[in-house]
Amino acid sequence: MAIKFADRLKRIKPSPSVTANALVTELRAAGRDIVSFTIGEPDLDTPAHIIEAAVESMRKGDTHYTSSAGTPAVRQSVVDKLKRDNALEFSPDEIVVGVGGKHIIFHAMAATLNKGDDVIIPAPYWVSYPDIVLLTGATPRIVVCDEQSDFKLTPEALEQAITPNTRWLMLNSPSNPTGAVYTEAELSALASVLRRYEHVYVMSDEIYEHFVYEHAKHISLLNVAPDLKSRILIINGVSKGYAMTGWRIGFGAGPKELIKAIVTLISQTTTCPSSISQAAAVAAFSGDQAPVKEMAERYAYRRQLMLAGIEKIPGLRCLAPKGAFYLYVDVSGLLGKTTPEGTSLQSDADIVLYWLETAGVAGIGGEAYGLSPYVRFSFATSEQEIERGCQRLADACQKLS
């Protein structure tokens, strides 16, 4: 007899970025030479002092269950990090450490949303936001933010989107996939709207905070609106800034009541994060920060390299990202063109497939992020791969008629 699955599974789809990366792995295993710009993961290694801290924790026997909120040491390291890097004051009981940032986001939504509730999600968005909301039975309310607003939510658009059913606004700066970074003035304008709607909470995803370029500066909504602290949940972690994606450590910083609810859910799901990874996170947050700055400089160079490569290709156009490590490339100039095989390119999905099959270059279509026709490219890869990939894209586009 076939397994009867829950209806909630019908509401979501597998993560497009994870699916794209799995396809790249499969093609490479079959012998294809693929340049992958898909995965949002640093290609650089975890700094040595962090690895040593994890090894030492194992040698000392720190290999057991911890508090569901995280060890006192890791929560204090988060408190210290927020004060040092962000000028924000928190106490350990306002911190929860989980198995990555997504883990905290999911538990926060599960703890607060019911059927009939709405969550405002500016598009382009990180692929998991809408599906996490859908899993709770609530409704994602997508607000499209196009290039005219630099892919950022305006106070006017926020005001129009809020209803009595709105429970959360999901805000991501620096942004995946566009690299948009909200300025102090832009955040202040959004805060002015939020003050009029006390029933709306804000999930502020700041996981790319260390990677900002040119004159951009990362600022938290809480920096400009400290009076909204009781309604803001900050999401961050070690994955991007410290090249620790596989260690699976993220954190939430927010109101005590919300943190307590999240911890209750974690106690019945994952119990706690890895004790070894938590020890590593303490070293990451509390130790030498020079590797983070070195990575940021490396990504700044790669950003320029990839922008230069993309700008040379007719039919492609891209706003220079102010943060994160992605380009969100406008491919509208290729729509309607015909491949050498006679196929007409009618969507960004068609273009992504053409590049993969013809050029061996993998990106992710804008449909996954809520705004087409675009393709997201990650430049968290080597300079050699960026140059190879851009040349292949140029060659493939030249073959179109």
Residue 273: pLDDT band (50, 70, 90) is very high
Tell whether the model's pLDDT for residue 229 goes beyond 90: yes
Q: Enter the DSSP assignment of 93.
A: G
Q: Are residues 132 and 242 in the same domain?
A: yes
Residue 182: pLDDT band (50, 70, 90) is very high
Virtual torsion, Cα 143, 148, 153, 155, nearest 10 deg: -110
- What residue type is assigned to position 148 of the chain? Q
Structural domain contains residue 387: yes
Q: Give CA–CA dist 401/398, Å, rounded.
A: 8
Last residue of a domain, one of 234, 261, 287: 287
Average pLDDT of the residues in 179-198: 98
Last residue of a domain, one of 232, 264, 287: 287
pLDDT for residue 14: 82
Structural domain contains residue 2: no
Edge-to-edge order in the sheet of strand 326-330: 317-318, 326-330, 374-378, 364-365
For residue range 334-379, list pLDDT tens digits in order: 999 999 999 999 999 999 999 999 999 999 999 999 999 999 999 9
Report the CATH number at residue 105. 3.40.640.10
Q: Are residues 246 and 366 in the same domain?
A: no
Residue numbers of the domain that contains 116: 49-287
pLDDT for residue 281: 98
Tell whether the model's pLDDT for residue 173 goes beyond 80: yes
Q: Are residues 258 and 108 in contact, defined by beta-carbon separation less than 8 angstroms?
A: yes
Q: Give CA–CA dist 361/137, Å, rounded.
A: 37
Report the CATH number at residue 362. 3.90.1150.10
The strand pairing partners of 386, in sequence order, are none
Tell whether the model's pLDDT for residue 18 goes beyond 80: no
Structural domain contains residue 32: yes
Q: Are residues 341 and 239 in the same domain?
A: no
Residue 180: pLDDT band (50, 70, 90) is very high
Tell whether the model's pLDDT for residue 26 goes beyond 90: no
Residue 38: pLDDT band (50, 70, 90) is very high
The secondary structure element, H or E, covering residue 253 is: strand 250-253
Last residue of a domain, one of 255, 272, 287: 287
pLDDT for residue 23: 82
Q: For residue 39, is it left (φ>0), alpha (ψ between -120 and 50) or beta?
A: beta
Q: Are residues 196 and 322 in the same domain?
A: no
Q: Are residues 238 and 246 in contact, defined by beta-carbon separation less than 8 angstroms?
A: no
For 75, counting Cβ atoms within 10 Å of its Cβ (0-12 exposed, 13-18 middle, 19+ buried), the class is buried
Name the residue among 210, 97, 112, 238 with its Cα closest to residue 168: 112
Residue 159: pLDDT band (50, 70, 90) is very high
Question: In 3-state terms, the chain is what percent helix, strand and coil (to 5)?
Answer: 45, 15, 40
Q: Tell me the whole-structure pTM to 2 decimals.
A: 0.96
Can you spell out the DSSP letters for 140-159? EEEEE--GGGTT---HHHHH
- What residue type is assigned to position 291 of the chain? P
Q: Give CA–CA dist 20/17, Å, rounded.
A: 5
